[in-house]
Amino acid sequence: QGVILLAFQSFYGSVYYKLGLIVSLFMAGLAAGGAVAGRLIPRIARPRRLMLEVEGALCLYPLLLPAVFALVARFPGFLPPALGEWVLFPLLPLVAGFIGGFQFSIAARIRLKGSGGAGRTAGAVYGADLLGSCLGAILVSAFLIPLLGVFPTCLAASLLNLSALVAIAIS
């Protein structure tokens, strides 16, 4: 989210007037991803395998961002500015939110199978989500982007997700 906001700022000059749209679409993506996963959960025979696939998508998504940013920067006439402002950049957090919401629901399903109840599962998964969000926001905005830049930060996010993919695969 922070990388998308920063890139939007650098391409279009002011992120504040679109901040509500970008954040709202991220939240809409979370809700949509959770809803889709919730409908699929009863039919999922192997949730762990699906979790690996979703984590794979989370490895690829951060690598997509630099490609999109480079395309917009390299070929400014390729995408009309209004299309970038109103479609492309708002679509990026929508997709990220969808993947995250989908992942959250699948993680809750996996955790619920091995735990003592829905309340504990919800608390544990939500707590882990909040901790990860907090650490990610602080690390990305305060350290990674200022020290490394946007593209290496996206690569770092991809590698972090890859380590989570490996951990899920071997557990």
How confident is the model over 109-147, as pLDDT tens digits?
A: 888 876 668 888 888 889 999 999 999 989 998 999 999
CA distances from 121 to 54, 114, 118, 149 (A): 20, 9, 5, 37
Per-residue confidence (pLDDT) for residue 83, from 0 to 100: 81
Per-residue confidence (pLDDT) for residue 115, from 0 to 100: 67
Per-residue confidence (pLDDT) for residue 71, from 0 to 100: 85
| Positions in the chain short of pLDDT 50 | none
Which of 15, 5, 16, 22 is CA-nearest to residue 91?
Answer: 22
Task: Tell me the two tokens of residue 12.
Answer: 């279009």
Q: What is the rounded distance in angstroms from the CA atom of residue 107 to the CA atom of residue 102?
A: 9
| pTM of the predicted structure, to 2 decimals | 0.88
Per-residue confidence (pLDDT) for residue 114, from 0 to 100: 67
Per-residue confidence (pLDDT) for residue 116, from 0 to 100: 65
* Complete DSSP assignment for the chain: -HHHHHHHHHHHS--TTTHHHHHHHHHHHHHHHHHHHHHHGGG-S-HHHHHHHHHHHHHHHHHHHHHHHHHHHH-TTTS-HHHIIIIIHHHHHHHHHHHHHHHHHHHHHHHHHTSS-HHHHHHHHHHHHHHHHHHHHHIIIIIIHHHH-HHHHHHHHHHHHHHHHHHHHH-
The label of the residue with tokens 């919401």 reads 101
Q: What is the rounded distance in angstroms from the CA atom of residue 61 to the CA atom of residue 54?
A: 10
